[in-house]
Amino acid sequence: MGVDRRQFLKLAGIAGALGLGGSVGFQLLKPGSLDAAERMPTPYQMVFPKSQGNSEVMPNPKALKGRRWGMVIDMRKLTEEKARAAIQACNYYHNVPDIPGKQTIKWIWLTGYVNAFPEVENPFADPEIKNARFIAMCNHCDNPPCVRVCPTKATFQREDGIVMMDMHRCIGCRFCMAGCPYGSRSFNFRDPRPFIKKEYPLYPTRTKGVVEKCTFCSERLAVGKLPYCAEASGGAMVFGDVDDAGSELRRLLRSRYSIRRKPNLGTHPQVYYLV
Ligand code: SF4
Ligand code: SF4
C-alpha cells in the first residue's frame, strides 16, 4: 500500500493524539485500511483541516474537559449483568484480547471483596458487601507509582489526572506492573491480535512486548463522550470531575459512604465505590 506524505502525517497525527511516539506497539491501521479509515470518522474525531492542505491536528471542540477525572461505582446498582455489560463494552471497543490463564489481558474485571479491599477485611461486615463482586480497573491514582518507576516515560499522567500509556515508548521492562499495587496493568507476552474475537476497526491493536491498561476512555472524552463502561453500566458507574463540587460524581460521594482500594498506600485512587 502506498502511503503518501500527507497520509503519513495524518496517521502520525492520530498517533500523536494518543501519545504514541514511535513505530511499534500499536498497530494503527491494517494494510489497505487507510481509505476506509478516511471515510469513517477518525478514531478520535480530530479535525484535519483538509482545506488547508495540511495535517495539523486540532482538538475536537466537543471534548469533555475536567480538572480531575474520576469514577464512582455504586455497588447497590452494580448487578452482575451490568458489570458484564460494562466489561464487554470496554473489551470490544479497545480490542482487548481474550487470552485465558496467566497471560490474560485485563482493562476492567470482576473481583471479590477480600481481593479488592484486603485492608478492610472484617468478618462481621454486611454479607451483601462481602459476597459482592466488585469491578476493578486502573484507579488513575493521583500519586501513581507506575508513572514514577517507568524508565522511558511510556506511562505518564495528564493534567486531568488520567494515567496514560505510550505503547511506542514501552520497552516491556514491566517496572510499571511491579509498581502498581492493584494489578491494573497487563503485559502482552504474545501477539494479542489472534485472540481478539471481533476486531473493532477504530481502535489500535497492540503488539507483543508492551503493557496496556484502562485509559478512562481518553479517546471518548476527546469527542465529548463518556467512557464505554459508564455508558454500558446502566447507571452503576458514574464518571465525572472530582474537582467539580457540582458534578453528579461529587453529589454521589456526598450522599453515600464510599471506599477506595488500598488507600493506606498513599496512591490516592480516583475510583470510588459506594457501599
Ligand atoms: S491503579 Fe496502578 S496502573 Fe493505575 S494509576 Fe494506579 S498505580 Fe498506576
Ligand atoms: S474507562 Fe474506558 S478504558 Fe477504562 S475500564 Fe471503562 S471502558 Fe475500559
| Selection from 252, 196, 251 nearest residue 78 by Cα | 252
Q: Is 213 in the pocket of ligand 1 (CB under 6 A)?
A: yes
Residue 96 CB partners (closer than 8 Å, separation 6+) = 90, 105, 106, 107, 196, 212
- CA of 106, nearest ligand number: 2
> 3 C-alpha to center of ligand 1: Å?
37
What is the CA(246)–ligand 1 centre distance, in A? 26
Which atom of ligand 2 approaches the CA of 89 most closely?
7
Question: Which residue minimizes the CA distance to atom 8 of ligand 2?
Answer: 90
**CA-93 nearest atom, ligand 2:** 7
Distance CA 85, CA 233 (A): 6
Q: C-alpha angle with apex 44: 175 to 218, nearest 5 degrees?
A: 40
Q: Is the predicted pLDDT of residue 178 greater than 70, yes or no?
A: yes
Q: Which three cell numbers stand for residue 222?
A: 476527546
Q: Which of 77, 82, 109, 81 is nearest to 233 (CA)?
A: 82
> What pLDDT does residue 233 have?
98
Q: What percent of the chain has pLDDT over 90?
A: 73
The number of helix segments (H) and strand segments (E) in the chain equals: 10, 12
**How far is the centre of ligand 2, averaged over its atoms, from the C-alpha of 185 (Å)?**
13
Q: Which residue has the higher pLDDT, 55 or 173?
A: 173
User: What pTM was computed for the model?
Assistant: 0.82
Ligand nearest to the CA of 230: 2
Residue 31 pLDDT: 38
